[in-house]
Amino acid sequence: MVRSETYNKTKKLHDNLSYWGEVFYRLRKNKIAMISLFLLMGIIALCVLVPLLSPYSIETTDMKNRDQAPGSDHWLGTDKIGRDLFVRLFYAGRISLGLALAVVALECFIGVVLGSLSGFYGGFIDVVIMRFADIFMSFPFMMFCITIVAVFGNSITNLIFVLALLSWPSIARIVRGQILTLREMEYMEACEALGISDFRRIFRHLLPNVLAYVIVYATLGMANVILTETSLSFLGLGVSPPTPTWGNMIQEARNTLIIQQKWWYWIPPGICIFISVMCFNILGDGMRDAIDPKMKR
């Protein structure tokens, strides 16, 4: 009897929820995904607040206290010219997370627009766009990034442009596949019968139904961009110092002496990269499970 009442209450709650309400309801039940979300929110809050509240700036140098181990004055020690590594760590988080967000936003914009046009119109437009996607996907990703950055420079703008340009085909294919299915639905036939323009049919009636898949892709893509930026920075082709990122901070680990004796140079940014990437991946998996209709009870 109790189980029956609980089931009826749960069913009634689900019936009253909107699509997104039901998605977030299922996501809240995923404890690991919610823990990952709170961890990410904590990291973002620290990246925003620590540089504002710290008595040190990212460029404040103190040659008398250079190469200091963590202590009461400098919680994560200082580097070889006396800069406080605690404030630089979280300022670097601003750059790394901001760069990842910009890359994902740009690649999703390009991929969603081109994927929508390809799936909606089909025919010659579909062939042209998908062949362009095949061309971009055929490039060796890391080698092409290294080449472009080496030729045009490793500014933040160049990194955003290069990473987004090489990554848009994946989301474009996802959007195209969904649009190909949705355009055959009855409500789209009704839109056509009512004389609704192609622009409104695509961006008002089709894309909202694809948005959930774009969000999942974007969440997982944040982790990939952070790792890519770290790899490029470790090779000396990421964001140029003195602007700190987690990637160019961990570059110090290329020195054997620092690995063995000065752990405060590279372990803190390594931990931040590990936690951020792990949390984005777990949250992306949780979003995928919450959105997947097969997960409905």
| Per-residue pLDDT reduced to its tens digit, 133-146 | 998 888 888 888 88
The residue-averaged pLDDT of 231-250 equals: 84
Higher pLDDT, 67 or 269: 269
Residue 12 pLDDT: 52
| Per-residue pLDDT reduced to its tens digit, 80-93 | 888 889 999 999 99
Residue 54 pLDDT: 85
Backbone angles phi, psi at 243, to 5 degrees: -65, 120
Q: Is the pLDDT of residue 19 over 80?
A: no
The residue-averaged pLDDT of 197-202 equals: 77
Reported confidence tier of residue 22, pLDDT bands at 50, 70, 90:
confident
The residue-averaged pLDDT of 212-229 equals: 90
| Per-residue pLDDT reduced to its tens digit, 80-135 | 888 889 999 999 999 999 999 999 999 999 999 999 999 888 888 999 999 999 98
Read off the pTM. Answer: 0.86
SS3 content of the chain, % helix, strand, coil (to 5): 80, 0, 20
Question: Which class for 239: exposed (0-12), middle (13-18), buried (19 or more C-beta within 10 A)?
Answer: buried
Higher pLDDT, 29 or 197: 29
**Average pLDDT along the chain:** 84
State how far the alpha carbon of 271 is from the alpha carbons of 33, 52, 278, 285, 295, in Å: 19, 22, 10, 21, 33
**Calpha distance 230→234 (Å, rounded):** 6
Name the range with the highest mean pLDDT among 72-76, 104-108, 181-185, 260-264. 104-108
**Calpha distance 183→187 (Å, rounded):** 9
Backbone angles phi, psi at 84, to 5 degrees: -70, 120
Residue 3 pLDDT: 52
Residue 46 pLDDT: 94
Q: Is the pLDDT of residue 18 over 80?
A: no
Which residue do the tokens 């974007």 mark?
218
The two tokens of residue 231 are 């790899």
Residue 295 pLDDT: 46
With a CB cutoff of 8 Å and minimum separation 6, the contacts of 178 are 119, 209, 210, 213
State how far the alpha carbon of 61 is from the alpha carbons of 33, 47, 82, 247, in Å: 40, 20, 5, 21
The two tokens of residue 153 are 């420079």
